[in-house]
Structure 1
Amino acid sequence: MNKRAVAEIAGGRNLVGASLWEAFPDAAESALGRHYRHAMNKGSPETFEIYYPPLSAWYEIHAVPVESGLSVFFRNINDRKLAAETARQAHNLLQTVIDSVEDLIFVKDRDGRFIFINRQITEGSSLIGKRVGDFYPPELVDVYEQADRHVISTGEVSKVEETIPIRGEPRRFQTVKVPWRRDGEIIGVIGVSRDLTERIQAEESLREGRRKLATLINSLPGLVYSADPKLLWPVTFISEGAEALTGYCAADFSNGTLDWADIVHPEDFQEFERAVSQARKDRCLFSAVYRIVTRSGEIRWVLDRGQFIYNEAGEAISLEGFVGDLTEQKQAEARIRWVAHHDALTELPNRALFNEQLDAAIRQTADSGRKMGLLFLDVDHLKHVNDTLGHDAGDALLVEVAQRLQQSVRGTDTVTRNGGDEFAVILPDIDGELGLNTIIEGILSGLEEPFSYGGHILDCRTSIGASIWPSDGSKSSDLLKQADMALHAAKSTGRGKAMLFEPEMRADAQRRASMLNHARRATEERRIEPFYQPKVLLSTGELAGFEALLRWRDPHGVLQLPSAIQAAFDDPRFAVAMGQQMQERIISDMRQWLEAGLEFGHVAVNASAAEFRRGDFAERLLDQLRIAEVPTRYLEVEVTETVFVGRGSEVVEQALQTLSAKGVRIALDDFGTDYASLSHLKKFPVDVIKIDQSFVRDLTSNPDDAAILMAVLALGRSLGLTTVAEGIETAAQAGFLQAHGCNQGQGYLFGRPAPRDLTVDLISLWKPRL
């Protein structure tokens, strides 16, 4: 050790003769002490480096065991250490910078061993000194090494795309490899690999998105377009749906052969242009419905929704939108409108369209200063056709009437079906009553010829009511009421007739309305009550029973006959309500008479067709008898033969069979009139036939009536039926009927209809009247 070194270490102290540990008391447990003891124990030289804090310097120490101890050599290496630390820090900084780069960076020697990599290539394990074959599969190794060999052999830069597994995931990279030169000699390869996976995936996703969008656009039931914003809108892009919609292929538009405006229907072009121009002015979307003319000349409806695209300067640079086919929708809407305004059977305008056209005709006639006629028509006996031959026959009759009506009127007239058997004809521009009658005569003449259906001859005649505007009213509602009144008048005087409204018809309509109002109030206030007319045994004059006849009291308590509310018997609602009240009171009266021990025989009650149509007539009536504890033998149900006619006859038959099976007697009223048929006596459970008073009235003076009476009585005897003659007013009539075997009689000769209180006395005091 030279003096300078000793002076550095001793720090100016005299170390001669001093112990090492005395000179350096902190060294015993330091690296110096460990190396010293190791050299002494091993007996061999030891070379090591230590940092000496007091001097802030590094030393290289060479300790050699000698016979008397240990010879130590110190050399100051502080400059070398500082240079190495500076190089290490520079290397670490470079490594940190390179490791922060997302690209893969590596250096290989000529043998392909990695001598430098950044952390992007691998984490947790070092590749330094290894070759790609040590950790990559053979198929990748060949690719990597082939590029390396090309760079080393040619000195050229290589750019390749390759797959590199990163943390087990194969990813696509673009790798640039350059020769690594030292002193002009190529000693290896430097490479930088950029991960293209996300970019490639994004490009593929974009391509797939574009493909899907193109598929979607070309699959739409319509077309997508982009056009030049100037008028006539030259197409710059149009989807393949153009051909299906327009008949022209997309190229016909995109190559400039056609502008979109070329196929817009001429009548719709101006409105379409206005919509597009307004949208451009307001900078908003437009939606336009218009027609186009296809290549084949077909007219199609389209819905065009579009908008203008603007550049940064605010200038319109494109018009883009979608055109959909509305043809089927428009056709469906037209069908819906047609169905909503037309009768499906006859294809005539219905009541809704009739009201619209009537108002329009009045306005038109008012402008012309002329007159207009209105006809209401009812097909005569349509119900009878439906009931006897079925609704198919009735429908055929309605269609025939509709066709004949259209053939019988002028081209400017409107024929409508307002429902059921009701038709109407609007007659604009007529010469008053004379012109109206001329048209009516043509209609009646056209309907005179019978119509053959299914081997049956059907009558096409109608009843007609007519009114004239403005003679009979200034408003359509007045005209309707007056034509309706005239129709009712025509029907009441006989079928197949036409009547023009006259002021006195209003009074008839008012009387009818008054009847219905009286009936309504009478039923609501339960002012319907039975009067009882006696029936006698003609053989003995004894009381056989009673017929209950309807009477009602007005609000003042005055008794009224059924004729005062005659119109109500044609209304099913009132007919049922009045029948129910009669039955309730009759059963209540019978219960009281039974409790009083009175022998009244039986009570006959009339039942209408409307009551049977409800379907539960028999069950309801039997329930009332059961609840009142009135035996069924005391009740007789009278029906006229009209209830048997029609499709509801099966309901009537079932009800009568039910009543008969429970002991209720069934009487056929007004026998010999209207729809009398001997088959009814066979088909239905009839116990009694009542001979209409029209045959009794003149039997002593009219041989024909007498002959009919004797025939009916003989029929009753042969069938085992009870016969009852109505309207007996004289002893001579009673004597004739008795002599020819009539079982029972009814009429003023035996007693007038009486209220329940007087009936009690009548039963108690009855004496034979013959």
Structure 2
Amino acid sequence: MSFPIPRNEIERLAALRTLKILDTDPTSDFDAAVEMAAAIFDAPIALVSFLDQTRQWFKAKKGLEVSQTCREIAFCNHTIFENRLFQVEDAPRDERFRRNPLVTGEPNIRFYIGVPLSLDGQTNIASLCVIDTVPRRATANQIAQLLRLREVVISLIRTHRIAIDARTAEKDARQRGKLLSQVERMSKIGAWSLDMDNLTTQWSPRTFEIHELEADQPPSLDGAIAFYPEHERERLTEAVRNCMEQGLAYQIETDFVTARGNRRRVRSSGELEQGEDGRKSLIGIVEDITAQHEHEQQMWRAAHIDTLTGIANRRSFHEEFRRRQAAPPPAPEQMALLMIDLDDFKDINDGHGHLAGDQVLSTVAARIANAIPPDAFCARLGGDEFAVLLSSVADVASAEDLAGQLIEEIGRPIVHGARTISTSASIGVARQGQANADQASAGEDSAGKDSLFAQSDLALYHVKQNGRGGVKTYEPAITDALEERRRAIALVRSAIAEGRLEPHYQPIVDLKTRKMRGVEALARIRNADDTVSGPARFWQALHEPQCAHEIDRVMLELALRDFARWKHEGCDIGFVSVNASSACIHSDTYLERVMEGLARHGLSPSDLKIEVVEGVFLDEDSNDVRDVLERLSAEGIGIALDDFGTGFASLSHLRDYPIDCIKIDKSFVIGLGENENNTAIVNALVSLGKSMNLSVVAEGIENEGQLDFIAALGSQFGQGYLFSRPMNATQLAEFATGRDHAGSWTVPDTGSRT
């Protein structure tokens, strides 16, 4: 397998040999760099890879067991050859890599991104890379962070080279008897001594350089201590005194200000020495560690600070939580957690661009940081999710009040260029006292972080499932509701997997002739004991998008199959109506799946009606919904608006969407003739349908009185228990036994009302 070789390969290999880094032991600073690289991309693998003549060797690695591979299969060959950021979005689809054993086998590379590492800007000796096992594309923000992290890694390599040079110099100095001057020159270390009899000092030339003083007369002990900031002097003075009086050696890292006013970071150490003549002196060194300290600070910031918003990141937040939890707050105050999620943030990115999205995140972070109390701690946990930790909350109401303030602050418009962006947030609140009580009642041994995070996350989920833009404090009922939802979803998924989800059909009847004109397919689950469960057992699953999408997919296929069989058997049924959820309508393949299903079963578009509820029209991408429904209608498929008059009813939906049928919800049919408001509403809806040339179906007709009233108001069609309960496909075919002379099916007047 061939690979690209840089033009300066000979010089590159020579520079790598000079560095003397190959096969050295792992170090915490390089390991921290790959940890951060993986965290930036939320990827499983990150490497610092040096490319030798026949192998690539990993100085630092995350998510990979091996420490080297043969060079010919290394993706990093392309990174150092290109001399710029190199990205592979989907390796199996890339002709250069699809047969690479790292792609076809472990670690199954799909995504790769790498940047070259060079000390002189021309000779690429290594790469910093991130690998994932799923295809993806790096965001602009991730790329920017990777490029900044590259500078940190280059600094680490440069520091390694300096250390190698220093060790080499030290060895040479010993051989030549010039150890002190050589170490000082290479390592920024100065030596000093203090005669304890007369308190006079002696400094090496490098010590003068560190202090930025002319190399003539060193200052006194008090004068030397004066170079340190006032808040550090007491600590240093006490260390020197203990060394002089008790012989206790010391080493202190501290800030330092030179004679020219430049801030430095130094490491000072000293110990007591007694000469052959009995004279005692204090000897020590002072080391300029400014560069090392800045690197450490840069690495700390990379590990703990969110680079986009400037507030703490997820790792820092969890560390802070553990720190505060280790020191319990005084009673009766308790720790509380606010989980914050921006509503519809994806739409901001899609509609205004990622730069606008980044500004929104930065602005929201600043608003949260400015609004919370001084002792609170906030962080961006990732994406559009933030968290606020409160150490002293007297009661839940206090946390809710702060959450309400944050909702208002976050909701203020954000100006981006010439545009104004509207934002909103949902917040879940949990209090540690409640979390501990719930865990204790559940028989768990440890209470705290996991429970508090889980409860605030559940409260947040509750808000987002119930309209968004609000605050909800955790209560046990939320867990109960979510557990019911989980069971409902599990029930539906197992029914689909085992072929136990089946359509039952309810006739849609012409109210004048009582002839069956069509049927509506309703989802039912056949249990192991052959009983049938209706939606009361699994209605929560209908509100879970993926689950609803699967239900719709199965129901469409089975309904078309059954309808084709009825036609083959000679049943005169005009159409079958199936429900379509919002998740289904928004699927890119829905229209194609419907048309392919009709063709596969030999049916025409007029054999099918699609029923939708008005909530489908309220999504941000309602234009896409309109496009799908218009294309379905253009093919000849009927569109019915189900449960009309409830929820978010709007006449504009009838005007703006290709609706040809409205179905009056059964809640209005109940009480007709007894409740004046119901009667008025049904009358208005029937009249509206007639005026707009729409078919009107009244749902939930259960007795003759309701039927007579509905018919008198002018509704053409109806369905309900008066005519028939829902039946499976075989029962429906058997039910259609009332043939008239014209050969059409007639719903019996009696016998189907129980």
Query: Which TM bucket (shorter chain)?
Result: 0.5 to 0.7
Counterpart in the other structure of 1:602? 575
Counterpart in the other structure of 1:92? none
Measured in 1, the distance between the counterparts of 2:323 and 2:662 equals: 57
Structure 2 contact 207–286 (Cα < 8 Å) conserved: no
Counterpart in the other structure of 1:642? 615
* Aligned-residue offset at 1:355: 3.1
> Could you tell which deviates more after superposition, 453-462 or 739-748?
453-462
Counterpart in the other structure of 2:504? 531
1:374 and 2:348 correspond: no
* Aligned-residue offset at 1:535: 0.3
With over 3 angstroms needed to count, the CA separation of the structure-2 counterparts of 1:492 and 1:334, relative to structure 1, is closer
What SS class does the counterpart of residue 587 from structure 1 fall into? helix
What SS class does the counterpart of residue 547 from structure 1 fall into? strand
With over 3 angstroms needed to count, the CA separation of the structure-2 counterparts of 1:487 and 1:323, relative to structure 1, is closer
* Aligned-residue offset at 1:371: 5.5
Counterpart in the other structure of 1:293? 257
Measured in 2, the distance between the counterparts of 1:225 and 1:387 equals: 52
Counterpart in the other structure of 2:437? 471
| TM-score (structure 2 length as normaliser) | 0.56
Counterpart in the other structure of 1:687? 660
* Aligned-residue offset at 1:678: 2.2
Structure number with larger C-alpha Rg: 1
* Aligned-residue offset at 1:534: 0.7
With over 3 angstroms needed to count, the CA separation of the structure-2 counterparts of 1:301 and 1:580, relative to structure 1, is farther
Counterpart in the other structure of 2:128? none
Match of 1:668 among 641, 652, 657: 641
Structure 2 contact 403–427 (Cα < 8 Å) conserved: no
Q: Give the 5 Å matches for 1:423-442.
A: 424-430=387-393, 435-441=395-401
Structure 1 contact 444–461 (Cα < 8 Å) conserved: no
With over 3 angstroms needed to count, the CA separation of the structure-2 counterparts of 1:328 and 1:417, relative to structure 1, is closer
Structure 1 contact 451–458 (Cα < 8 Å) conserved: yes
With over 3 angstroms needed to count, the CA separation of the structure-2 counterparts of 1:331 and 1:651, relative to structure 1, is farther
1:761 and 2:734 correspond: yes
Measured in 1, the distance between the counterparts of 2:540 and 2:604 equals: 34
What SS class does the counterpart of residue 505 from structure 2 fall into? strand
Measured in 2, the distance between the counterparts of 1:225 and 1:262 equals: 24
With over 3 angstroms needed to count, the CA separation of the structure-2 counterparts of 1:320 and 1:419, relative to structure 1, is closer
With over 3 angstroms needed to count, the CA separation of the structure-2 counterparts of 1:673 and 1:505, relative to structure 1, is closer
Cα deviation code 1:739-767 (max 9, x no counterpart): 33322111112211111110111235442
Counterpart in the other structure of 1:541? 514
Q: Percent identity?
A: 29
With over 3 angstroms needed to count, the CA separation of the structure-2 counterparts of 1:383 and 1:685, relative to structure 1, is same
Counterpart in the other structure of 1:551? 524
> Could you tell which deviates more after superposition, 475-484 or 253-262?
253-262
Counterpart in the other structure of 1:91? none
1:357 and 2:330 correspond: no
Structure 1 letter corresponding to 2:303: R
Structure number having the greater strand percentage: 1
Measured in 2, the distance between the counterparts of 1:604 and 1:529 equals: 14
1:501 and 2:480 correspond: no
What SS class does the counterpart of residue 426 from structure 1 fall into? strand
Cα deviation code 1:308-354 (max 9, x no counterpart): xxxxxxxxxx99999784576456435423444x8x56x65455444
* Aligned-residue offset at 1:592: 1.5
Cα deviation code 1:98-154 (max 9, x no counterpart): xxxxxxxxxxxxxxxxxxxxxxxxxxxxxxxxxxxxxxxxxxxxxxxxxxxxxxxxx
What SS class does the counterpart of residue 758 from structure 1 fall into? helix
Measured in 1, the distance between the counterparts of 2:747 and 2:646 equals: 31
1:702 and 2:681 correspond: no
Structure 1, unaligned stretches of length 5 or more?
Answer: 1-221, 275-287, 305-317
Structure 2, unaligned stretches of length 5 or more?
Answer: 1-183, 194-200, 241-251, 269-283, 415-419, 440-446, 739-744, 750-754
* Aligned-residue offset at 1:564: 1.2
* Aligned-residue offset at 1:247: 10
Measured in 1, the distance between the counterparts of 2:224 and 2:595 equals: 80
> Could you tell which deviates more after superposition, 260-269 or 482-491?
260-269
With over 3 angstroms needed to count, the CA separation of the structure-2 counterparts of 1:237 and 1:334, relative to structure 1, is closer
* Aligned-residue offset at 1:667: 1.2
Match of 1:728 among 687, 701, 723: 701
Counterpart in the other structure of 1:717? 690
What SS class does the counterpart of residue 668 from structure 2 fall into? helix
1:337 and 2:303 correspond: yes
* Aligned-residue offset at 1:498: 4.9
* Aligned-residue offset at 1:590: 1.6
The number of residues matched between the two structures is 508
With over 3 angstroms needed to count, the CA separation of the structure-2 counterparts of 1:568 and 1:423, relative to structure 1, is farther
With over 3 angstroms needed to count, the CA separation of the structure-2 counterparts of 1:389 and 1:577, relative to structure 1, is closer
Structure 2 letter corresponding to 1:597: G
With over 3 angstroms needed to count, the CA separation of the structure-2 counterparts of 1:476 and 1:539, relative to structure 1, is same
With over 3 angstroms needed to count, the CA separation of the structure-2 counterparts of 1:731 and 1:403, relative to structure 1, is farther
Structure 2 letter corresponding to 1:671: F
* Aligned-residue offset at 1:725: 1.6
Cα deviation code 1:526-545 (max 9, x no counterpart): 32111111101223221110
Structure 2 contact 526–533 (Cα < 8 Å) conserved: yes
| TM-score (structure 1 length as normaliser) | 0.55
What SS class does the counterpart of residue 685 from structure 1 fall into? coil
CA RMSD of aligned residues (A): 4.9
What SS class does the counterpart of residue 658 from structure 2 fall into? coil
With over 3 angstroms needed to count, the CA separation of the structure-2 counterparts of 1:260 and 1:676, relative to structure 1, is farther
What SS class does the counterpart of residue 727 from structure 1 fall into? coil
With over 3 angstroms needed to count, the CA separation of the structure-2 counterparts of 1:662 and 1:508, relative to structure 1, is closer
Q: Give the 5 Å matches for 1:647-662.
A: 647-662=620-635
Measured in 2, the distance between the counterparts of 1:452 and 1:485 equals: 26
Structure 2 contact 256–263 (Cα < 8 Å) conserved: yes
Structure 2 contact 337–453 (Cα < 8 Å) conserved: no
Measured in 2, the distance between the counterparts of 1:388 and 1:254 equals: 60
Q: Give the 5 Å matches for 1:9-28.
A: none
* Aligned-residue offset at 1:695: 2.0
